[in-house]
């Protein structure tokens, strides 16, 4: 019995030892996307019969289909009749807001309502082919919570950089100006003076912001302010930029008026949002400093056809529409850098792809330049060129497909047929979710 016990003990120890040995690693599952055509957004070349090999969340390789046979266990997605491109990027959205311009609806909005809006709009935006967005302005840090819910897989939506409440002056575009004095209503991002704006930048970062949004001039959808008026001083803008850049975040400036655009670029702000009244001095400064222009132009077309604004918004919208496209075209022709932004929420979410058509039709961009504004350029502005913006090995598998050749017709992006984000198919190709 003693010998038998010793043998059993020896066998059990041997089994424990063997179980501790390194086991052969499981071969990761590959997804082979068989593309009829693939757009290289770096060069503008359209490559025929290419296969993108996706492993996990990233692109492993891209090669001609003829030299990329399937292996046992591979999943194949046949997009042989389509053109595959990188997922699009919109660097100016309001994902938690909707086209509700009635002052009563504005006053009765809540953070809970914004959060619900965000869940719905994030999915619409992703299914429209926009796999990455930058959200610039949301109440109660609802965009932070939405981003975290998307990242954890709880909610379907794009990759997101988020700002939380936008910084603004007392009585400016980013304040709450609809109620009379006795309510003492103040916008969440309001900060006046250098010390106050420094504190507000730090607060936004504390609560999860990954980009800083500042209102440098008046705006259209706000009461009592002027589109042309600069709101923050040059010194305040410099303080905002210094604080944000020191802490690793970029800064986006809502700026319609010429003086605010000039000061924003001089202060080192990374992008001008809207830019409606940009003049020669502002264009020269933006070009010198490498400041991005983020035009939001399709909303003008939508407003002309569908907009119903209160009178104190309507005149400012008319004033903007009268000058924005010609002025911004001059900036493009002068060589200012452009990244695609839409201001989605001023028109319904999910129509983001219409912005590309406006750039080609009204700014004189080539289809490739318009596509680059929403891919490599937008990724560069966000500081995410190593993650997205093009179809390259090692980057996120953010891939979309359209019927036809987008280098001939960018309107194809208004009807995206296939959407993959981080290796998961959400539309077409036997979508998993």
Q: Judge if 71 and 197 occupy the same domain.
A: no
CATH of the domain at 141: 3.20.20.140
420 band by pLDDT with thresholds 50, 70 and 90: very high
Q: Judge if 120 and 213 occupy the same domain.
A: yes
Q: Judge if 220 and 125 occupy the same domain.
A: yes
Q: Judge if 196 and 272 occupy the same domain.
A: yes
**What's the pLDDT score for residue 19?**
43
| pLDDT of 356 over the 90 cut | yes
- Which residue range forms the structural domain that includes residue 197? 88-382
Q: What is the distance between the alpha carbons of residues 139 and 175, in angstroms, rounded to a whole number?
A: 11
In-domain check, residue 7: no
In-domain check, residue 432: no
In-domain check, residue 25: no
In 108-126, which positions are buried (b, 16+ CB within 10 angstroms) versus exposed (e)?
ebeeebbbebbbbbbbbbb
Q: Judge if 210 and 258 occupy the same domain.
A: yes
Collapsing DSSP states into helix, strand and coil, what is residue 37? strand
In-domain check, residue 161: yes
* CA nearest neighbour of 356 among 377, 335, 331, 326: 377
Q: Judge if 197 and 211 occupy the same domain.
A: yes
Q: Judge if 196 and 273 occupy the same domain.
A: yes
* CA nearest neighbour of 51 among 90, 81, 79: 79
| pLDDT of 252 over the 60 cut | yes
**What's the pLDDT score for residue 33?**
98
Q: Judge if 188 and 59 occupy the same domain.
A: no
Distance separating the N- and C-terminal Cα atoms of the chain: 60
CATH of the domain at 410: 2.30.40.10
Q: Judge if 336 and 406 occupy the same domain.
A: no
pTM above 0.75, yes or no: yes
Could you tell me where the beta strands, DSSP code E, fall in 9-158? 30-40, 45-55, 58-64, 75-86, 88-93, 130-135
Handedness of CA 303, 166, 396, 379 (dihedral sign): positive
Mean pLDDT across the stretch 266-295? 98
Q: What is the distance between the alpha carbons of residues 381 and 341, in angstroms, rounded to a whole number?
A: 11
**What's the pLDDT score for residue 318?**
93
| pLDDT of 388 over the 60 cut | yes
Q: Judge if 38 and 78 occupy the same domain.
A: yes
User: Among 382, 400, 418, which residue terminates a domain?
Assistant: 382
In-domain check, residue 24: no
Q: 255 burial class (0-12, 13-18, 19+ CB within 10 angstroms)?
A: buried
In-domain check, residue 17: no
**What's the pLDDT score for residue 224?**
86
Q: Judge if 401 and 289 occupy the same domain.
A: no
| pLDDT of 203 over the 60 cut | yes
Spatial strand order of the sheet with 130-135 comes to 88-93, 130-135, 159-162
In-domain check, residue 3: no
Q: Judge if 46 and 99 occupy the same domain.
A: no
Asked whether 120 and 155 are in contact (CB, 8 A), the reply is no
Indicate the number of domains in the chain: 2
Structure tokens at 84: 């595959």
Q: What is the distance between the alpha carbons of residues 320 and 297, in angstroms, rounded to a whole number?
A: 10
In-domain check, residue 180: yes
Please provide residue 355's backbone torsions phi and psi, each rounded to the nearest 5 degrees: -60, -35
Q: Kindly report the average pLDDT of the chain as a whole number.
A: 93
Could you tell me where the beta strands, DSSP code E, fall in 261-359? 271-274, 292-294
């Amino acid at each position: 019995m003693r010998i038998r016990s010793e043998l059993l003990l020896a066998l059990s120890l041997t089994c424990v030892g063997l179980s501790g040995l390194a086991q052969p690693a499981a071969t990761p599952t590959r997804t082979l996307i068989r593309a009829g055509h693939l757009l290289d957004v770096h060069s503008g070349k359209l490559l025929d019969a290419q296969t993108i090999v996706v492993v996990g969340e990233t692109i492993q390789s891209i090669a001609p289909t003829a030299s990329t046979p399937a292996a046992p266990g591979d999943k194949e997605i046949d997009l042989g009749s389509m053109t595959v491109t990188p997922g699009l990027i919109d660097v100016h959205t309001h994902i938690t807001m909707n086209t509700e311009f009635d002052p009563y609806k504005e006053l009765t909005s809540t953070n809970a309502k914004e959060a619900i809006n965000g869940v719905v709009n994030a999915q619409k935006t992703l299914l429209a082919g926009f796999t990455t967005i930058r959200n610039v302005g949301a109440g109660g840090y609802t965009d932070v919570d939405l981003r975290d819910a998307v990242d954890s897989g709880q909610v379907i939506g794009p990759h997101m950089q988020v700002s939380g409440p936008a910084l603004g002056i007392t009585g400016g575009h980013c304040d709450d100006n609809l109620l009379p004095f006795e309510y003492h209503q103040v916008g969440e991002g309001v900060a006046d003076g250098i010390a106050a704006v420094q504190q507000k930048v730090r607060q936004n970062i504390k609560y999860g912001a990954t980009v800083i949004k500042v209102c440098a001039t008046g705006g259209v959808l706000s009461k009592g302010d002027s589109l042309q008026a600069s709101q923050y001083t040059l010194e305040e803008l410099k303080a905002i930029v210094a604080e944000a850049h020191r802490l690793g975040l970029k800064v986006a400036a809502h700026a319609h008026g010429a003086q605010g655009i000039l000061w924003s670029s001089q202060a080192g702000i990374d992008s001008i949002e809207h830019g409606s009244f940009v003049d020669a001095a502002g264009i020269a400064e933006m070009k010198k400093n490498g400041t991005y222009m983020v035009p939001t132009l399709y909303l003008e077309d939508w407003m002309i056809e569908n907009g119903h604004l209160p009178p104190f918004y309507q005149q400012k919208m008319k004033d903007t529409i009268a000058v924005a496209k010609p002025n911004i075209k001059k900036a493009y022709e002068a060589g200012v850098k452009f990244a695609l932004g839409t201001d989605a929420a001023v028109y319904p979410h999910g129509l983001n792809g219409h912005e590309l058509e406006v750039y080609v039709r009204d700014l004189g961009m080539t289809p490739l330049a318009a596509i680059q504004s929403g891919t490599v350029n937008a990724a560069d502005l966000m500081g995410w060129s190593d993650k997205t913006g093009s179809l390259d090995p090692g980057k996120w598998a953010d891939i979309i497909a359209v019927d036809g050749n987008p280098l001939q017709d960018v309107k194809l992006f208004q009807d995206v047929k296939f959407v993959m984000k981080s290796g998961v198919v959400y539309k077409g190709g036997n979508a998993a979710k």
